[in-house]
Amino acid sequence: MTTKNHYKTPLCILHLEDSPLDHELVRRELGTSGELFDIERVETLNDFAQAIKDLRFNVILADYKLPGFTALDAWAVMQATIRQLPFILLSGAIGEPAAVAAIKIGISDYLPKDDLSKLHHVIQRAIEMHHARQAKETADIELALSEQRLASFADHLQSTIEQERAAIAREIHDDIGGALAAIRFDLAWVGRHTNDTQSLSHINAATEMLQLAIEASQRIMMNLRPAVLDQGLAAAIQWLATSFSKRTGIETNFNLAKELGTITKNTQLVAYRTTQEALTNIGKHARCTRVKIDISDSENVLTVEVTDNGQGISEKDLLKPGSFGIRGLKERARTVNGWLDVSSHPDTGTSIILSIPLTNSFTREAEGVSK
């Protein structure tokens, strides 16, 4: 006689049952399915604990109430092992509340003993669901590892970018800055040693253009490496606000709740770059007339909030595949265990809030002095 076979190898079943008769009924029912199977019965908790170490088993059938323990005790024993198996309650009437409670803790399914005709289907479904759950757990672990690797890469990338910016800023200062300063001295010398009106006019024009070049190089250096951070985060953000207002004509108010304590360089840099990027986006897209920047470190959390009264950002714009500005800020915040919130409504403006816990990176200035 030819029979169908869903399993390439016999299905190995561990049956926790103290009744030989009930075990035989299960065996006979499985035999009618036409599937290859191998079933082993144990009836004590110790025997069950030893049996589940056998890697050949694919599924567990368990009576609910056995002498001295229940199936929930056997479930707990299995949970303490590395390998998890589909676990099916096969018992008499245990009541719906007990069955539901068992399912909630993770037991695969429940089947009354007087409904054995469904046993093969229940086993097959439990195994499929177990495999699907294992696949999801594996995918979740891989996704978490991938996100961790991506976060580490983003952190490394940001660090590398900052190092490159600092190197370029030093080169601008040492090479270009030095050359521009030398040219300014030479122009001043020429101006002092000539009386020709036309020559003086050209010298004055060149001096003005040179001053613009010097200011441009200083601005580029500030953007590349904010030396103003050496004066503290509040001073750096105040400089950003003033520069932004002067450049765009947008009214920009800076509010400092109280004097900030000592904050690590990395945290300061993240706060500075976030404010800088927020102001850049406002200048390009917000179409606003007023910007407010608030900074505080209350309750051991550094908070920087940049708010405008512009046209707002739609949810669609935030989710655009090419919208990397806000995503980049969020990733930058994560490098110091912080987070970024964006609140925006059409025609009422946008608020970008950076929050960074300071528990391990913050000490009050007074504490720093006392050490």
Name the residue with higher pLDDT: 9 or 252: 252
What is residue 362's predicted lDDT score, i.e. its pLDDT?
42
Q: How far apart are CA 236 and CA 230, in angstroms?
A: 8
Query: Is 5's pLDDT higher than 60?
Result: no
What is the phi/psi pair of residue 74, to 5°? -65, -40
**Which pTM does this prediction carry?**
0.55
Q: Tens digit of pLDDT for each residue in 305-356?
A: 999 999 988 777 766 655 667 788 888 898 889 999 999 888 789 999 999 9
The residues spanned by each domain of the chain are 11-137, 229-371
Mean pLDDT across the chain: 86
pLDDT tier for residue 222 given thresholds of 50, 70 and 90: confident
For residue 29, name the pLDDT band (cuts at 50, 70, 90): very high
Q: Token pair of 161, please?
A: 């970018």
Interval 229-252 mean pLDDT = 91
Quote the DSSP letter at residue 232.
-
Q: Which amino acid is at 145?
A: L
Q: Does residue 228 have a pLDDT over 80?
A: no
Local confidence band at 366 (pLDDT 50, 70, 90 cut-offs):
very low
Q: How confident is the model at residue 370 (pLDDT cuts 50, 70, 90)?
A: very low
Looking at residue 367, its pLDDT comes to: 38
Whether 223 has a pLDDT exceeding 90, the answer reads no
Q: For 82-98, what is the mean pLDDT?
A: 87
As given in the structure block, the two tokens for residue 297 are 């470190």
Say what the pLDDT of residue 329 is. 87
Ramachandran quadrant class, 257 (left: phi over 0; alpha: psi -120 to 50; beta: rest): alpha
Residues 6+ apart with CB under 8 A from 189: none
Q: Which CATH architecture has domain 229-371?
A: 2-Layer Sandwich (3.30)
Sign of CA dihedral 177, 228, 304, 354: positive
CB atoms within 10 A of CB 58: 20
Please state, for a pLDDT cut of 90, what percent of the chain lies above it.
51
Whether 59 shows a pLDDT value over 90: the answer reads yes
CATH superfamily of the domain spanning 11-137? Response regulator (3.40.50.2300)
At 67, the pLDDT band (50, 70, 90 cuts) reads: very high
Phi, then psi, of 71 in degrees rounded to 5: -65, -25
Query: Residues with Cβ < 8 Å from 336, sequence gap 6 or more?
Result: 266, 267, 270, 356, 361
Residue 369 banded pLDDT, cuts 50, 70, 90: very low
Taking 90 as the threshold, does the pLDDT of residue 126 lie above it?
yes
